[in-house]
C-alpha cells in the first residue's frame, strides 16, 4: 500500500518574545493510504501541532511534508487554502457549527467554495448526512441536536467534498461515552468502508483503540508506535 503522507526531518519552532520554543524535533513519519492513525501524548507533546501541519493549517520551520506526492510545505498561502478545501476534512473537539443554519446548510458550507450548483450542493449534503445517520435531522439547527449529533454533522461537513484525508483533533473530547462510541464507530466505518485516511489526536486510550495504529509523542519526538488488530 502506498504512502499518502510522507514527513521528513520535520521541525516546528515558535518564538515567544526572545525565546524560541522547539515544539517538534526532526520528525520522520509515513502514513499509508487508508490508514487510521491515532496520535497520543501528554499536553504539550506536539501532537496537535503535528496534526495542524499535516492538515496544512500551519507551516513547518524545517523539513518536508508531502501529501499524495505534493509538497504542501512549498505551497503559497493561496494554493495551500485551495489544497485544504479539496483534500482535507477537519473534525474538531468543538463542533464549530453555525448556530443559525440547519444541519443541511452547515454541511453545505465547504461546497460554497466550489462551482457546484445549489441543487448539487444540497444533494451532496444529503448524501453526507445519510452517511452519518442524520437524514432525519437535516432541517434541525445545532441547538436542537445532542452533542453527539452535532459532532456527526461536523463529520458530514468534513466529508461532503470527498476529501482524501480526515484530520480529527480530540473528536470525542466533549462527548459522553455513548456518543463518543457512536462517533468513533462512524470514523471506523469511514476508514474501513470508504477508504478515508484518518489522523486523529486523542487523549483517550479507548478512542485510540479504534484506530489501526497509535503513535506516541513526547516533548516533540515520536517515542513509540502501537499497531492494533483491524476491527
> 103-126 pLDDT, tens per residue?
999 999 888 877 888 888 889 899
Assigned C-alpha cell, 129: 448526512
* Whether residue 96 has pLDDT greater than 70: yes
* pLDDT at res. 221: 84
Q: Which residue has the higher pLDDT, 228 or 85?
A: 85
* pLDDT at res. 1: 65
Whole-angstrom Cα Rg for the chain:
18
Averaged pLDDT score across all residues of the chain: 87
Any bridge partners for residue 5, and if so which? 31, 67
Please check whether residue 131 is in contact with residue 208, taking contact to mean a CB–CB distance below 8 angstroms. no
* Whether residue 196 has pLDDT greater than 60: yes
* pLDDT at res. 55: 92
* Whether residue 174 has pLDDT greater than 90: no
Q: What is the DSSP letter of 220?
A: T
Q: Which residues contact 34 (CB under 8 A, 6 or more apart)?
A: 1, 4, 191, 195, 196, 197
* pLDDT at res. 86: 84
For 89, phi then psi, to 5°, come to -110, 135
Please check whether residue 155 is in contact with residue 163, taking contact to mean a CB–CB distance below 8 angstroms. no
* Whether residue 227 has pLDDT greater than 70: no
* pLDDT at res. 224: 65
The answer as to CATH 3.40.50.620 being correct for domain 34-61+85-227 is no
Average pLDDT, integer, range 175-192? 86
* pLDDT at res. 137: 87
* Whether residue 228 has pLDDT greater than 80: no
Residue 210 Cα distances to 38, 161, 183, angstroms: 9, 24, 11
User: Domain residues of the chain, as ranges?
Assistant: 34-61+85-227
* Whether residue 102 has pLDDT greater than 90: yes
3-51, pLDDT tens digit by residue?
999 999 999 998 888 888 888 888 999 999 999 999 998 888 888 899 9
With cut-offs at 50, 70 and 90, classify the pLDDT of residue 225: low
Q: What is the DSSP letter of 175?
A: S
Please check whether residue 189 is in contact with residue 228, taking contact to mean a CB–CB distance below 8 angstroms. no
Average pLDDT, integer, range 121-147? 89
Please check whether residue 56 is in contact with residue 218, taking contact to mean a CB–CB distance below 8 angstroms. no
Amino acid at each position: 500500500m502506498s504512502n499518502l503522507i510522507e514527513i521528513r526531518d520535520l521541525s516546528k519552532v515558535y518564538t515567544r518574545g526572545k525565546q524560541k520554543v522547539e515544539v517538534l524535533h526532526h520528525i520522520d513519519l509515513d502514513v499509508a493510504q487508508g490508514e487510521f492513525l491515532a496520535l497520543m501524548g501528554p499536553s504539550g507533546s506536539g501532537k496537535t501541532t503535528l496534526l495542524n501541519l499535516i492538515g496544512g493549517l500551519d507551516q513547518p520551520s524545517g523539513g518536508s511534508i508531502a501529501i499524495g506526492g505534493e509538497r504542501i510545505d512549498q505551497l503559497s498561502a493561496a494554493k495551500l487554502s485551495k489544497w485544504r478545501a479539496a483534500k482535507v476534512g477537519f473534525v474538531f473537539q468543538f463542533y464549530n457549527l453555525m448556530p443559525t443554519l440547519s444541519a443541511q446548510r452547515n454541511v453545505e458550507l465547504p461546497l460554497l467554495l466550489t462551482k457546484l450548483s445549489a441543487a448539487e450542493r444540497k444533494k451532496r449534503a444529503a448524501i453526507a448526512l445519510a452517511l452519518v445517520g442524520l437524514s432525519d435531522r437535516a432541517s434541525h439547527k445545532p441547538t436542537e441536536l445532542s452533542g453527539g449529533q452535532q459532532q456527526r454533522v461536523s463529520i458530514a461537513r468534513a466529508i461532503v467534498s470527498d476529501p482524501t484525508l480526515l484530520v480529527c483533533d480530540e473528536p470525542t473530547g466533549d462527548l459522553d461515552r455513548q456518543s463518543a462510541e457512536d462517533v468513533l464507530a462512524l470514523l471506523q466505518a469511514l476508514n474501513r468502508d470508504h477508504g478515508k485516511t484518518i489522523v486523529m489526536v486523542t487523549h483517550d486510550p479507548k478512542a485510540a483503540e479504534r484506530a489501526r495504529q497509535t503513535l506516541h509523542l513526547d516533548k516533540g519526538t515520536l517515542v513509540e508506535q502501537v499497531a492494533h488488530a483491524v476491527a
